Amino acid sequence: MTSRDTFTRLFIPVSLAEGVSFLILLGVAMPLQIVGHHQMPVQIFGMLHGLLFIAYVMITAYGHTQRKWTGKRLAWILVMSVLPTGAFFAERSVRNEAAAGASVEPAVA
């Protein structure tokens, strides 16, 4: 298996899990803390999301070195990690890049 395949195999599930954990943290755990004064969901999903975020950044750094991304491409992938649904867009972009077999700049809407 090539390093390009390894990156894609690692990045896709981690980015999806990071995105889901972020949405659960913001949409379920935080409201439970604010409205119901339940601390445990934020502690659990906050820790889970933090670990997934660190994995996302580390795998992104690996992808940057393996795929020879431009600084702009790296910045775009990293910015997507801090937006509530951004990880899903980053996952789709990396999946499309892997399918095309070349580094592609993200489309600007």
When pLDDT is cut at 50, 70 and 90, the band that residue 102 belongs to is low
pLDDT confidence of residue 101: 74
Q: CB atoms < 10 A from the CB of 65, how many? A: 11
Question: Following CA atoms 58, 62, 65, 69 in sequence, which dihedral angle do they give, to the nearest 10 degrees?
Answer: -80
Q: CB atoms < 10 A from the CB of 8, how many? A: 19
The answer to whether the predicted template modeling score (pTM) of the entire model surpasses 0.95 is: no
CA distance 102 to 100: 6
pLDDT in tens, 7-29: 999 999 999 999 999 999 999 99
Q: Is the pLDDT of residue 41 over 60?
A: yes
Mean pLDDT over 51-72 rounds to 94
Q: Is the pLDDT of residue 83 over 90?
A: yes
